[in-house]
């Protein structure tokens, strides 16, 4: 017995010693698409017979530290076959994981179900990821996928009025959404006054939409971050895709420059509305175009370089001649241009298997101008923003279950709002203005850590310190961020998020109408930064069969220093906007529900939002709290894709929104004018935003016919119908005379009724 005890003790000691001596090593690398060589973002790597796992970052990089010895790594991502890799760790290893793309299978349903479980167990809250490849059958105007329009079908994201480019997130204002394309800010996200987004779907890899629980690396806007990433480009072979539509056509080419080393992607799109109208003998001298390009170069195992470029413009140009009463010929020219250019140069560097760094140099230019020439008279009104910035983000995979992210960013904004140049008689009415040039320097540093407190309870905490220097004044502030997940079961969890956000620029837009040319105005000595505090509580449940993900969230958000125009503000040809601005507070709260299925014969989602949003300005509405313009109480969306057969797919969207609010004219009176030569008709308005427009709802349909599906060439026809049952989506209220009685009445017109379109898409 004693001998047995001695032997057991000796073995135990040996084991403990061995355990103490056991070293850990790191395996790291990129998760890549086997066919194209492009990085797979957000893929999951699990270690068999262990709780250790890691998610590939937004560049496809992963790193996991394990004990020495044999391990089996299981890698998975929706849309790809699962892959297992057996590896001996006796030193730090660099291994790229190559996954093969597969069509939807029962096997993939399992992967998606696992991805849903992974989503449930993560600390991510109020985040939705959209991949163009997953949502390409959702009906949109012109039969062309529009990721921004699709995003507006998600709970908590509400579109503005029909024909307006902005959208609102959780009761915020349209300027509180930051849209990043490969880290560069895109100021104008739409064409044709909001009907098309500027993003070419074939050039986009995916988009994360953050509505709350913002990670510390993001800042600069109160209500949402749309982080859009472009594709890398096929590293194996030349490939292409595109479409010919009624209003526009687009083409994307991608391929290797040096196989497995460098690749490119180039996308272009242009409308031909102008040409088509011309063919019909009509004049509409308007078109828009977009161009995306990206170059990728793997310098060596530790370094990668990326260059992204975007250029887009809306152009309206008309030249004509008019004969005056005296017989002279007068040259009349009208021009309008609105667009962005963005450039991003990124450098990925792996310092060691545990430390990954991305450094980006960013440049954005946004500008618009309106010009007119009438003989000797001319006018030019323009506005410009130039951004130059640099940011570095570090990811330190400290140990399994503990990842630390930190970074720094600095951006110089140059604003030239409202440049006015007038010549001729018009000069007397409108003085030249070089535009007040305002320079602001915005900086931020952040640190965040994700830690598993105990099994089933994870916390992601950190902070961002942001600052903005303008006109000799420094605004700075601490932005704490916390997100936590507590698993209530194998497939369900309760989540919590808190985020403070600061915003150092404002979009100055009328409460009556929102235009792409609305003015971006930075903080100044008098205009203070906006700030929000948002609390979110959520519940998520991943269903195994079928593979649905259910999510319910409630939120409460307070906002300080939001902007509005003063009553009676002059918005046209005003070169002193600052005097017209008022700052006040706001709050928003509500609940959101989402049931979604990413893949399968029937996929899509059902979303519902209940929301409240109001504002309080001491000098507006008599100092009383008033509803926000887009205080839409209920929003419901049903988005469904159904695979009818091998050749036919059906897409359907039904969307319902409570009406937005407005200030209605509810009376009038005659008031002798100060010169006593007549009377003014003085309108009497309701209290601010007191009246709600009618609710809007519409059904959009999409039918896809897959024509030719060879291995090398795939084509399809897309037939779509927007607003199928032709119901007006109210965008304003007007007073008109009744056609039969002649009596005046209020009515709400809609911009577009049923719009049918057809598009031909191809891939090779």
Partner 1 sequence: MKNILVAIPCILGLFITGCRPEPIPIKIPQADGKLVVSSQIIPNTTLLISLSRSFNALTPTDTNPGQNLLEQILVAHARVTVEHGGITDTLLRVAPGFYGSITTPLMANQTYTLHVYDSSSGKSVTAQTTMQTRLTLDTAWVERRISGRDTQRWLHYAFTDPAGVNFYMLNTYRNTSFFTNVISNPARVFNLMSNADVNTIPITDGLFKPGRHEESMNLGNYAAGDTLTLTLSHIDQTYYTYLVQKQRAARNGLGAFFGEPVNYSSNVRGGYGFFTAHWPDVRTLIIKE
Restricting to residues 733-752, which ones interact with partner 1 according to CB under 8 A?
Answer: 733, 735-737, 743-750, 752
562 is a contact residue toward partner 1 (CB under 8 A): no
Q: Give the rounded distance of the alpha carbon of 81 from its chain centre.
A: 29
374 is a contact residue toward partner 1 (CB under 8 A): no
Nearest-angstrom CA–CA distance, 321 and 327: 12
C-beta separation of 508 from 495 below 8 A: no
Which is nearer to partner 1, 493 or 620 (by Cβ)?
A: 620
Nearest-angstrom CA–CA distance, 240 and 234: 9
624 is a contact residue toward partner 1 (CB under 8 A): no
Question: Rounded to the nearest whole angstrom, what is the least distance from the CB of residue 662 to partner 1 in the complex?
Answer: 9
664 is a contact residue toward partner 1 (CB under 8 A): yes
411-430 residues in contact with partner 1 (CB under 8 A) are 425, 428
Question: How many C-alpha atoms does 480 have within 13 Å on its Cβ side?
Answer: 5
267-296 residues in contact with partner 1 (CB under 8 A) are 276-277, 279-280
51-110 residues in contact with partner 1 (CB under 8 A) are none
Q: Which of 95, 302, 490, 668 binds partner 1 (CB under 8 A)?
A: 668
Query: Which of 152, 146, 132, 153 has the alpha carbon at shortest distance from 269?
Result: 146
Element (H, E) at 131: none
Which is nearer to partner 1, 394 or 760 (by Cβ)?
A: 760
Nearest-angstrom CA–CA distance, 145 and 159: 17
Question: Rounded to the nearest whole angstrom, what is the least distance from the CB of residue 334 to partner 1 in the complex?
Answer: 17
Question: Rounded to the nearest whole angstrom, what is the least distance from the CB of residue 622 to partner 1 in the complex?
Answer: 9
Which is nearer to partner 1, 247 or 350 (by Cβ)?
A: 247
Binding segment (CB under 8 A) for partner 1, from list 42-50, 116-124, 129-137, 562-570: 562-570
Can you give the three-state secondary structure of 170-213, one letter per residue? CCCCHHHEEEEECCEECCCCEEHHHCEECCCHHHEEEEEEECCC
212-251 residues in contact with partner 1 (CB under 8 A) are 246-247
Structure tokens at 159: 């579109």
Nearest-angstrom CA–CA distance, 695 and 118: 37
Q: Which of 15, 672, 707, 713 binds partner 1 (CB under 8 A)?
A: 672
Which is nearer to partner 1, 420 or 569 (by Cβ)?
A: 569
688-717 residues in contact with partner 1 (CB under 8 A) are 688, 691, 693-694
C-beta separation of 73 from 97 below 8 A: yes
Q: Which of 53, 511, 558, 715 binds partner 1 (CB under 8 A)?
A: 511
572-611 residues in contact with partner 1 (CB under 8 A) are 572
Three-state SS at 415: strand
426-455 residues in contact with partner 1 (CB under 8 A) are 428
C-beta separation of 577 from 510 below 8 A: no
End-to-end CA distance of the chain: 76
By rule CB under 8 A, what count of residues binds partner 1?
74
Query: Which of 61, 184, 200 has the alpha carbon at shortest distance from 132?
Result: 200
Question: Rounded to the nearest whole angstrom, what is the least distance from the CB of residue 112 to partner 1 in the complex?
Answer: 36
Q: 213 Cβ partners below 8 Å, 6+ apart?
A: 123, 124, 125, 126, 127, 481, 483, 495, 497, 498, 499, 536
330 is a contact residue toward partner 1 (CB under 8 A): no
Nearest-angstrom CA–CA distance, 414 and 404: 33
Binding segment (CB under 8 A) for partner 1, from list 358-366, 487-495, 534-542, 568-576: 568-576
Which is nearer to partner 1, 32 or 508 (by Cβ)?
A: 508
Which is nearer to partner 1, 357 or 513 (by Cβ)?
A: 513
Beta bridge partners of 99: 33
Question: Rounded to the nearest whole angstrom, what is the least distance from the CB of residue 100 to partner 1 in the complex?
Answer: 36
321 is a contact residue toward partner 1 (CB under 8 A): no
């Amino acid at each position: 017995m004693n001998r047995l005890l001695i032997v057991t003790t000796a073995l135990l000691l040996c084991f403990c010693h061995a355990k103490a001596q056991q070293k850990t090593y790191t395996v790291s690398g990129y998760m890549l698409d086997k066919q194209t060589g492009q990085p797979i973002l957000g893929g999951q790597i699990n270690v068999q017979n262990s709780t250790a796992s890691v998610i590939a970052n937004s560049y496809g990089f992963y790193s996991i530290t394990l004990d020495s010895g044999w391990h089996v790594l299981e890698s998975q991502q929706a849309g790809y076959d699962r892959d297992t890799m057996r590896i001996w760790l006796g030193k730090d290893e660099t291994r790229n994981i190559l996954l093969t793309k597969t069509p939807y299978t029962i096997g993939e349903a399992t992967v998606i179900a696992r991805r849903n479980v992974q989503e449930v167990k993560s600390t991510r809250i109020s985040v939705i990821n959209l991949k163009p490849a997953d949502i390409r059958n959702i009906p949109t105007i012109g039969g062309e996928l529009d990721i921004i329009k699709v995003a507006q079908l998600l709970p908590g994201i509400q579109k503005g009025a029909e024909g307006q480019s902005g959208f609102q997130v959780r009761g915020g204002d349209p300027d509180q959404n930051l849209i990043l394309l490969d880290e560069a800010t895109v100021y104008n996200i739409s064409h044709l006054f909001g009907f098309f987004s500027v993003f070419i779907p074939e050039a986009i890899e995916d988009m994360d939409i953050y509505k709350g629980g913002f990670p510390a690396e993001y800042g600069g806007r109160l209500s949402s971050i749309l982080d859009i990433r472009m594709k890398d480009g096929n590293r194996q072979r030349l490939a292409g895709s595109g479409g010919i539509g009624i209003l526009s056509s687009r083409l994307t080419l991608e391929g290797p420059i040096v196989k497995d080393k460098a690749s490119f992607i180039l996308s272009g799109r242009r409308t031909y509305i102008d040409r088509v109208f011309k063919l019909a003998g009509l004049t509409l001298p308007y078109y828009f175009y977009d161009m995306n390009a990206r170059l990728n170069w793997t310098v060596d195992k530790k370094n990668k370089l990326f260059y992204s470029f975007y250029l887009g413009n809306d152009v309206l140009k008309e030249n004509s001649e008019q004969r005056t009463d005296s017989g002279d010929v007068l040259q009349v020219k009208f021009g309008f241009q609105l667009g962005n250019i963005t450039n991003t140069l990124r450098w990925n560097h792996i310092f060691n298997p545990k430390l990954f760094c991305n450094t980006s140099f960013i440049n954005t230019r946004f500008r618009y101008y309106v010009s007119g020439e009438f003989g000797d008279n001319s006018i030019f009104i323009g506005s410009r923003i130039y951004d130059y910035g640099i940011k570095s983000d570090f990811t330190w995979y400290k140990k399994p279950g503990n990842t630390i992210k930190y970074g720094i960013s600095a951006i110089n904004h140059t604003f030239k709002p409202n440049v006015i140049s007038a010549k001729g008689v018009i000069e007397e009415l409108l003085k030249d203005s070089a535009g007040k040039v305002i320079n602001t320097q915005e900086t931020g540093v952040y640190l965040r850590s994700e830690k598993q407190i105990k099994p089933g309870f994870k916390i992601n905490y950190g902070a961002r310190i942001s600052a903005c220097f303008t006109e000799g004044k420094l605004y700075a502030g601490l932005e704490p961020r916390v997100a936590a997940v507590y698993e209530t079961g194998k497939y369900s969890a309760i989540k919590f998020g808190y985020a403070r956000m600061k915003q150092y620029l404002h979009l100055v837009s009328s409460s009556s109408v929102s235009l792409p040319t609305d003015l971006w105005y930075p903080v100044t000595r008098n205009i203070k930064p906006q700030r929000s505090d948002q609390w979110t509580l959520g519940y998520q449940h991943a269903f195994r069969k079928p593979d649905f993900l259910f999510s319910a969230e409630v939120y409460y958000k307070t906002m300080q220093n939001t902007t509005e125009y003063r009553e009676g503000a002059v918005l046209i040809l005003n070169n002193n906007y600052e005097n017209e601005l008022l700052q006040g507070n706001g709050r928003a709260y509500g609940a959101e529900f989402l049931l979604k299925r990413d893949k399968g014969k029937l996929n899509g989602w059902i979303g519902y939002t209940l929301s409240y949003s109001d504002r309080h300005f001491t000098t507006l509405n008599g100092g009383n709290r008033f509803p926000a313009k887009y205080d839409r109480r209920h929003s419901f969306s049903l988005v469904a894709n159904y695979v009818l057969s091998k050749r036919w797919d059906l897409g359907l969207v039904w969307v319902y929104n409570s009406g937005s609010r407005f200030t209605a004219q509810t009376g009038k009176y005659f008031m002798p004018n100060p010169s006593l030569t007549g009377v003014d008709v003085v309108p009497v308005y309701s209290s601010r935003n007191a009246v709600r427009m009618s609710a809007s709802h519409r059904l959009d349909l999409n039918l896809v016919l897959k024509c030719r599906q060879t291995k090398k060439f795939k084509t399809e026809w897309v037939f779509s119908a927007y607003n199928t049952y032709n119901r007006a989506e109210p965008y304003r209220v007007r007073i008109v005379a009744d056609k039969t009685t002649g009596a005046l009445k209020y009515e709400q017109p809609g911009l577009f009724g049923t719009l049918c379109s057809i598009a031909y898409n191809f891939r090779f």
